[in-house]
Copies of this chain bind each other. A is one copy, B any other.
Amino acid sequence: MWLHASCLLEFNIPVDTPFLLMLRPRSGRQQWIGREQYVMLPSVRAVEFTDPFGNLCQRLVAPAGPFSIKTSVDVECADASDTAPGSPFVEVQNLPEETLPFLLPSRFCESDRFTQMVAALVKGRSSGYDQCAAIVDYISQTLQYTPGSGQQCKSACEVNESSQVVCRDMAHLGIACCRALSIPARMVVGYLETLEPMDLHAWFEAFVGGRWYTFDPTQKNLQGGRVAVAYGRDAADVAIYTQFGEPVTLTRMDISVKRMSVPLY
């Protein structure tokens, strides 16, 4: 399917402030960017670079005063996310090198603390995809997905003691549990077509059966219409914006995702 997705950020900037942004989705195996737009108002000089996870990142100094960033994409993505029940665990010695960083604990995914819990949780499941599915089932049944409840970013340990959580929190717990089983898992931030209420979304991917599969503990049925904007170890790596210095005020954030017909231009 083709989607038109857009993100508008409006800030009030007290003093000139350096930003790192991740707002340019890349074409890759999962999605194709047919059209893209990235506008700053006022226009400032920005520099783009590629981070260690392959994300296109932008650096700029936002000038004092009102400052807005509007990005949009027309993107072709899968109608349905692949699933693969029964897909096997890949032994660590056979994992591709680029998946190895996603085995280690990270800021918000303290996988080193979940060995015991996850062992109980996946008991009786066959190794690999089915373990991931059991983890997702547990998370969606135990925690209450409450969009808008999450001001501060919670780590997997904190999530595990919470009742109301957001998509990001659920992904953190899912990732920590997968890694505790030696399954590489990574965070994805992006757009989801039918999300209610519409917002940026976060989910995770796990590497089983020789490739990455999508998991989303917030959704009863795993649906397609996903646009990946950034990949990373957890929310610390994939903040769509990181500002340094004096806090700035985000005065408005509008996310929109709409299905479109095949673009002819």
Q: A residues within 8 Å of B by Cβ? A: 18, 20, 24, 26-29, 32-39, 43, 45-52, 54, 56-61, 70, 76, 91-93, 97, 100-101, 103-107, 109-110, 112, 153, 182, 236-237, 242, 244-245, 262-265
Chain B residues with CB under 8 Å of A245's CB are 92, 182
* Residues of B close to A237: CB separation below 8 A: 104
Alpha-carbon distance between A218 and B262 when the two chains are bound, in angstroms: 41
Q: Does the CB pair A47–B18 fall under 8 Å?
A: no
Interface contact B236-A104, CB-CB below 8 Å:
yes
B61→A45 contact, CB < 8 A:
no
Instruction: Pick the contact of A28: B48, B60, B104 (CB < 8 A).
Output: B48
Judged by DSSP, the binding face of A is mixed
Q: Assess the A262–B29 pair: CB atoms within 8 A.
A: no
Q: Determine the residue in chain B with the shortest Cβ distance to A47.
A: B29
Which residues on B sit within 8 Å (CB–CB) of A112? 153, 236
Bound CA–CA A92/B106 (angstroms): 23
Q: How far is the CA of A48 from the CA of B54 in the complex (A)?
A: 11
* Given contacts A93-B61, A265-B39, A45 and B32 within 8 Å (CB-CB): yes
Closest partner residue, chain B, to A91 (CB atom) = B18
State whether A262 and B32 are in contact (beta carbons under 8 Å apart), knowing that A27-B48, A105-B107, A244-B92 are contacts in the complex.
no
The 8 Å CB contact of A34, one of B38, B61, B91, is B38
When chains A and B are docked, how far (Å) is the Cα of A112 from the Cα of B52? 21
Do B35 and A76 touch (CB < 8 A)?
Answer: no
User: Is B34 a contact partner of A48 (Cβ separation < 8 A)?
Assistant: no
**A34-B37, A106-B236, A110-B107 known; A26 and B51 CB under 8 Å?**
no
Contacts A20-B100, A91-B18 given; indicate if A43 touches B107 (C-beta within 8 A).
no
